[in-house]
Homo-oligomer: A and B are copies of this chain.
Amino acid sequence: MTSTDEARGTTSTEPVWWGWGPAVAHDPLPESVRLLLARLGIPSRPTPPVGLAEVRLPPARLPAAARDALAAIVGDRHVRGDDESRVRHCRGRSTTDLLRLRAGDASAAPDAVVLPADHDEVLAVLRLATRERVVVVPFGGGTSVVGGLAPTGQPGRPVIALDLARLDGLGRVDRESGTAELGAGLRGPRAEALLAEHGLTLGHVPQSWEYASIGGFAATRSSGQASGGYGRFDDLVVGLRVATPAGSWDLGRAPASAAGPDLRQLMLGSEGAFGVITQVVCRVRPLPARRLHEGWSVPDFVTGTRLLRTLAARDLRPTVCRLSDETETIAGLARPPRRRPAARDRAAQDDGPGGDATTGGCHLITGYEGPGPAVARRANEVAEVLLAGGARRLDADAGADWEQGRFRAPYLRDSLLDLGIFAETLETAGFWSALPALYAGVRGALVDTLGAAGLSPVVMCHISHLYETGASLYFTVVCGQGADPIGSWRAAKVAAGDAIVAAGGTITHHHAVGTEHRPWLGAEVGPLGEDVLRAVKRTLDPAGILNPGILVA
């Protein structure tokens, strides 16, 4: 695929503008996946993205005076109106975003990209934008999969993407309290590298980790693959610095407080609609001395879910825990298990070769991080529960394979799109008692809707975030594109969203609302909740310049 890199507008390690990560990181689709797709009747045909020069951009609407005023704040070279900058800040990384971009549609591109250096510059930009009625889209990693970077409802106004990449510093590290001040523009790897110099880690590792930003994690209530050990990102936040059109706001004076409502929780999940998070004070932990990932096969998804519930109820959540359903196990997208059972359990095996998805069962990954003895002990405690519940340990490579491939899915999606195959995800969460109906409802909605459109969907699911009271469900859909993939997906998404609401789940567990989930926000928070969000918005952003249409209609 590197042969077309130049046409695609990149030859560097910079992420490609039409997809995920640098071009060199895109492997051709594995032969096993090709065969599987063929067996499932999903048609493929080469569908490369257009060249950057062919991308259609609307004329930039930012008035020269506003541009100059912005340049006076952030410096001339930090106001960018070139085509590539605009394309690179156009929409996020949902599959429909990528389909549009790959087809050369950058109609939603901002008119300019502004890169402030610090909190005060952000404040100044917001003041100017308020005065000039310029729409501001806060931009962290640009990895939204829910249309969080595509504001709506202010068609006449110029739009700037406020790229926070320069707010990339590590501030005060308070070793005694176990906290660190992190610039909102820090991407996952850089944040971890800076903390590692102090022997510390954040431990927040969502699939978007390579590109998503600290501010984005906070603004979207992100949850990482290691949430069982480190917590959701909102659990990690102890303080926030926010620039709003109404002024500066610092939140978080103590680990816990009864001084009224926890207003940090209003900014966590605010998706750039209430203010721009410029710094996050996070809980940090010592770098783990040991990391261990193990693979298991459980008899079926229902049994596996019950086992996870037992672990959560007994306060035995692994750092990482991912249970694939039967379909995902077969598709092997969560790393297909090997044929050899681990030596230590071989004696206990009496059911043939085992461990291969094709023999039935569901694949489970458990991971542990921490001091060596604690990892060993927790792994043993979990193993005891799993073995007693009918799980079978897979060979040691299963865990290692998962770890190695944990960030690969978005690259794989690019490879599928190159073959004209549609792939997208959606997620929800619910209380344990609601999970079976939630799973069946969403799965059924996706299969039925896409099936009716003749797209032969493969619908897979895994559980990847455990709580005492429930868990998340993460669905992956792979199907043909048909004549109108964007329209087909929209219909499927509507059906899935309705099914989630009907089954009592949340419309999103960690992807956020954006424009994609906006239709169901009312069902989630009620009309009073929408009124409250509107009132907060009016208070902090009276001119409505921040991400209009996001959270507040």
Binary contact track A247-258/B, C-beta < 8 Å → 1, others 0: 111110111111
Q: Are A268 and B259 in contact (CB under 8 A)?
A: no
Does residue A266 face the partner (Cβ distance < 8 Å to B)? yes
The 10 A-B pairs at the shortest CB distance, nearest first, are namely A255-B467, A265-B265, A254-B506, A177-B431, A257-B506, A221-B258, A255-B470, A535-B535, A176-B433, A254-B429
A254 cross-chain contacts in B, Cβ below 8 A: 428-431, 470, 505-506, 509
Does residue A468 face the partner (Cβ distance < 8 Å to B)? yes
Q: Are A465 and B532 in contact (CB under 8 A)?
A: no
Q: Are B256 and A232 in contact (CB under 8 A)?
A: yes
> Which of A99-107, A131-139, A519-527 is near enough to bind chain B?
A519-527
A525 cross-chain contacts in B, Cβ below 8 A: 251, 259-260, 263
Binary contact track A118-155/B, C-beta < 8 Å → 1, others 0: 00000000000000000000000000000000000000
Q: Which residue of B lies closest to A538 (CB)?
A: B535
Q: Which residue of B lies closest to A266 (CB)?
A: B261
Q: How far is the CB of A249 from chain B (nearest CB, A)?
A: 4
Does residue A358 face the partner (Cβ distance < 8 Å to B)? no
Interface centre among A178, A232, A270, A540, by most chain B C-beta atoms within 10 angstroms, is: A178
Binary contact track A356-390/B, C-beta < 8 Å → 1, others 0: 00000000000000000000000000000000000
A270 cross-chain contacts in B, Cβ below 8 A: 260-261
Q: Are B268 and A262 in contact (CB under 8 A)?
A: yes
Does residue A471 face the partner (Cβ distance < 8 Å to B)? yes
> Which of A33-41, A439-447, A510-518 is near enough to bind chain B?
A510-518
Q: Provide the bound-state CA to CA distance between A527 and B527, in Å.
A: 27
Q: Which residue of B lies closest to A505 (CB)?
A: B254
Does residue A432 face the partner (Cβ distance < 8 Å to B)? yes
Beyond A254-B509, A257-B524, A261-B266, list 13 extra A-B contacts (CB 8 Å): A178-B432, A238-B469, A247-B528, A251-B525, A254-B470, A256-B472, A257-B508, A257-B509, A258-B512, A259-B521, A260-B512, A260-B551, A266-B532
Q: Provide the bound-state CA to CA distance between A507 and B465, in Å.
A: 34
Does residue A481 face the partner (Cβ distance < 8 Å to B)? no
A23 cross-chain contacts in B, Cβ below 8 A: none
Contact of A468 among B259, B268, B283, B507 (CB under 8 A): B283
Binary contact track A520-553/B, C-beta < 8 Å → 1, others 0: 1100111111011111101110000000000100
Q: Are B260 and A265 in contact (CB under 8 A)?
A: no
Q: Provide the bound-state CA to CA distance between A309 and B512, in Å.
A: 35
Does residue A48 face the partner (Cβ distance < 8 Å to B)? no
Q: Which residue of B lies closest to A500 (CB)?
A: B253
Q: Provide the bound-state CA to CA distance between A68 and B533, in Å.
A: 37
Q: Provide the bound-state CA to CA distance between A428 and B255, in Å.
A: 11
Q: How far is the CB of A445 from chain B (nearest CB, A)?
A: 17
Number of copies of chain A assembled together: 2
Q: Which residue of B lies closest to A253 (CB)?
A: B506
Q: How far is the CB of A244 from chain B (nearest CB, A)?
A: 7
Q: Are B531 and A539 in contact (CB under 8 A)?
A: yes
Q: How far is the CB of A475 from chain B (nearest CB, A)?
A: 15
Q: Are B509 and A256 in contact (CB under 8 A)?
A: yes
A257 cross-chain contacts in B, Cβ below 8 A: 221, 429, 506-509, 524
Does residue A179 face the partner (Cβ distance < 8 Å to B)? yes
Does residue A220 face the partner (Cβ distance < 8 Å to B)? yes
Sample 13 A-B pairs with CB under 8 A, ordered by A number. A177-B434, A250-B526, A253-B430, A257-B524, A258-B269, A258-B510, A259-B507, A260-B524, A261-B269, A263-B529, A265-B265, A528-B540, A536-B536
Q: Which residue of B lies closest to A529 (CB)?
A: B263
Contact of A533 among B178, B244, B261, B265 (CB under 8 A): B261
User: Contacts A177-B470, A222-B258, A433-B176 known; A266 to B266 CB distance under 8 Å?
Assistant: yes
Q: Provide the bound-state CA to CA distance between A265 and B266, in Å.
A: 8
Does residue A313 face the partner (Cβ distance < 8 Å to B)? yes
Does residue A504 face the partner (Cβ distance < 8 Å to B)? yes
Q: Provide the bound-state CA to CA distance between A221 and B248, in Å.
A: 26
Does residue A168 face the partner (Cβ distance < 8 Å to B)? no
A263 cross-chain contacts in B, Cβ below 8 A: 525, 529, 532-533
Residues 451 to 509 of chain A near chain B (Cβ within 8 Å): 465, 467-472, 504-509
Does residue A24 face the partner (Cβ distance < 8 Å to B)? no
A510 cross-chain contacts in B, Cβ below 8 A: 256, 258
Q: Are A536 and B526 in contact (CB under 8 A)?
A: no
Does residue A223 face the partner (Cβ distance < 8 Å to B)? yes
User: Contacts A178-B313, A532-B540 known; A271 to B265 CB distance under 8 Å?
Assistant: no
Q: How far is the CB of A227 from chain B (nearest CB, A)?
A: 9
Residues 54 to 85 of chain A near chain B (Cβ within 8 Å): none
